[in-house]
Structure 1
């Protein structure tokens, strides 16, 4: 069984213009980092012209489809009947995207099949993580 889940999603970028542009994005989950999810935007969809990847808690995404959550760089909240809003805050500015809630829920369901909620600690390799942290220490 694969330990990585990737799902393409259609994100709608909220901008000052009245029409929201559709941009490709990818949600990813790796069982080796069981508490986190990643959302990547390809280079053509970013102001910098380079791929941008945000890493945040799976729990934040799961909670955000039901109620507004987050107080830091990533915030998630429901919007209307079938959308979830993700806000990404950086020094350069804020990006706000809408994603179909069904796509988010399908992704979360796949991650839960791979690593059940509440069992994430069983998938963490503390020894390997510690060795990586101390790799260059003399």
Structure 2
């Protein structure tokens, strides 16, 4: 059984019709946190450990494959070209979001692997609710 999956995803900033320098990020999924997906960008070391990342609901990625989804730090939606998905990432400070485009096929393969690990709708059965409650209550559950 798959517990963890990670895949590189090459993303292009700005307009898909204009030449741009691609950015390679990584998508991560861990069945121990079954609702979440992490999109991580490399930092100065060239690895994602010192980079910047966005954590968001796996359902947001799933929904964003077919329709505009999300309205906070990240928005995911189909691009005008059906082979692409657009991520609009909002900074921690006020300002315009950054639009990055990723290949639909790469994202679909990643989602399929996450569904092998935890089927959509099966997330709650993977959480140790007693342990989560104990953590919230400082071990007093």
Pair in the same fold by TM > 0.5: yes
How do 1:9-48 and structure 2 match up within 5 A?
A: 9-14=9-14, 18-44=18-44
Aligned-partner Cα distance in 2 for 1:95–1:8: 19
Structure 1 alignment gaps of length 5 or more? 45-49
Extract structure 1 runs of 4+ deviating beyond 4 A.
Answer: none
Tell whether the 8 Å contact from 2:2 to 2:116 is kept in structure 1 after alignment.
Answer: no
Structure 2 alignment gaps of length 5 or more? 45-49
Tell whether the 8 Å contact from 2:35 to 2:59 is kept in structure 1 after alignment.
Answer: yes
Q: From 101, 106, 131, give the equivalent of 1:103.
A: 106
> How many residues in Structure 1 have an aligned counterpart in Structure 2?
132
Between structures 1 and 2, the one with greater strand share = 1
Partner of 1:83: 84
Given the superposition, is the C-alpha separation of residues 124 and 82 from structure 1 closer, same or farther in structure 2, using an over 3 Å criterion?
same
Partner of 2:6: 6
**CA RMSD across the alignment:** 2.2
